[in-house]
Amino acid sequence: MVYVNLLPLRPELASEAPYGAPQLDVPVLLNVNENPYQPSAEVVATIAADVAEAARSLNRYPDRDFLPLRADLATYLRRESEVELAPEQIWAANGSNEVMLHLLQAFGGPGRAAASFAPTYSMYPEYARDTHTRWVAGRREADFTLDPVVAAATIEAEQPAVILLASPNNPTGTALPLPTIEAVLDAASRVTVPDAPAGAGAVVVVDEAYAEFRRPGTPSALELLADHPNLAVTRTMSKAFTAAGLRLGYLAASAALVDALRVVRLPYHLSAVTQAAARAALKHTDVLLAQVDSLRAERDALVAWLRAQPGPDGTPLIVADTDANFALFGPFPDRGVIWRGLLDRGVLIREVGPPGWLRVSVGTPQEMQAFKDALAEVIGLGSRGGW
Ligand SMILES: *Cc1c(COP(=O)(O)O)cnc(C)c1O
C-alpha cells in the first residue's frame, strides 16, 4: 500500500479498510446472512428468458424511472404487509446500501449529522463519512432494545438530519415495536435541520432488510408511512428473496421524499439487466418466499439449542431475541478462539457486534447440524482447557 502515500486521498480515508466480511472458500457459509437456498430452476429460467429479452435493446440506456419495477415492488409490499402504496412511493437501487447512500446524499451533508443506535449495522457510519455528514452513535440498552426516552434525548441533543433505525437490527436481530419508532418520529419532527425550511424535521429511515423473517405479530414500519412524510422504510431482495447477487434494494416513502432521491441518483443507475431480472424474480414471489417459513422455524430451533448450551462460565449461553435470519450469541472471553475453532471445522460465522459476541446466519438443516456439532466440540475444548 506504499503507493497510497503518493495519492491525494482524503485524510479521513487514509487509515480506512474497505468494508466486508472475509469471503473464504469453506463448506458451511453462515457469515453474511444470505439465504442458503438457491433460486429454483423455474425461477432461473424466467430470469434467463427475461434478461435475454432485455439484452435485445442494450444499445439503449435503461428506463431511468423504472416505474414498472416500482409498481411490481408496490404490489409485493401490499401482499407482504397489507399496506397500499403507489409506484411513485417506491425507489430502488443496486442494493439497499445504495438506497441508503441516496438518502444520505439527499438529506445529509456538511454541517448536518446522521444518527443511529449501536450496536447496529456497521455500514451506516460509512454512508455518513462518504457524504461528509457528522456521525452520531447513540446507544441501545444491554439487551439491545432501544429505549424511546434515551433515543429522543439523543435526537434532541444532536439534532441529526437523518436517523437510521435497523429493525430487525443487525447484528442483534432485535425488532423495534411501533411505539418506539413513533417516539423517534416524534422527536425527529422537532429537529431543526441546518439550512432546511423551518419545521422540516429530520428524515427517519427504518432499515427492514430482514423484515420477512419477523415473528408473527411483529409489525412493519410500512404501517406508519401514511402519517409520516419524513419516514422511509428500506427493504432488499438480498435476504428473504434469495437474490443477494442481484443487487436490488428498495424503499417505500412519501412521493415527495422519493422525488428528492431522483435528484442525487446517477443517471441510469439501475441497469436494464437488473430491472429485468428483478421483475422476473418478483413473478415467483411464492416460490422464492417458500423457504422463509422453514428458515424462521430453523432460526427458532437454533436459538433454543444455543440457549441450552453451556457458556464459558458453565451457565447457558445468552442469545439475543431475533426476528431475523441470524442469531447473536455469547459472550465469550475470547470470541476469536471460537470463531477460528469453527473455521477449522469448515464452518464460517461472523465476528461482529459487541466484544465477546458472535453472529451465525440460519442455513439449511444440514448446515445447522454442522454448526451445532462444531460449536459443541469447540466449547467442550474451551471448558476442558479452562478457557
Ligand atoms: C444485509 C443488510 C442490508 C442489505 O444490503 P443490500 O445492499 O440490499 O444487499 C441492509 N441493511 C442491513 C442492516 C443488512 O444487514
How confident is the model over 260-289, as pLDDT tens digits? 999 999 999 999 999 999 999 999 998 888
Instruction: Give the pLDDT of residue 386.
Output: 64
Query: What is this structure's pTM?
Result: 0.96
Query: Which tens digits make up the pLDDT trace of 104-135?
Result: 999 999 999 999 999 999 999 999 999 999 99
Tell me how far the alpha carbon of residue 377 lies from the centroid of ligand 1, in angstroms: 32
Ligand 1, closest atom to CA 98?
A: 7
Q: How wide is the angle at C-alpha 275 spanned by C-alphas 203 and 37, nearest 5°?
A: 90
Greater pLDDT, 290 or 98: 98
Query: Which tens digits make up the pLDDT trace of 47-71?
Result: 999 999 999 999 999 999 999 999 9
287 vs 295: CA distance, rounded Å: 14
Instruction: Give the pLDDT of residue 384.
Output: 72
Asked if the model's pLDDT at residue 380 lies above 80, the reply is: yes
Give the three cell numbers for residue 45: 429460467
Q: In this structure, which residue's CA is closest to atom 7 in ligand 1?
A: 95
Asked if the model's pLDDT at residue 387 lies above 70, the reply is: no
329 vs 332: CA distance, rounded Å: 9
Q: Which amino acid is at 386?
A: G
Instruction: Give the pLDDT of residue 315.
Output: 87
| Whether the CB of 170 sits within 6 Å of ligand 1 | yes
Asked if the model's pLDDT at residue 86 lies above 90, the reply is: yes
Question: Confidence band (pLDDT; 50, 70, 90) for 4?
Answer: low
3-state class (DSSP) for residue 70: helix
Q: Environment class of residue 168 by beta-carbon count within 10 Å: exposed (0-12), middle (13-18) or buried (19+)? A: buried
Alpha-carbon torsion 338, 340, 343, 349, what sign? positive
Give the three cell numbers for residue 327: 442469531
| Whether the CB of 173 sits within 6 Å of ligand 1 | no
| Whether the CB of 242 sits within 6 Å of ligand 1 | no
User: Is 182:204 a contact under the CB 8 Å cutoff?
Assistant: no
Asked if the model's pLDDT at residue 5 lies above 80, the reply is: no
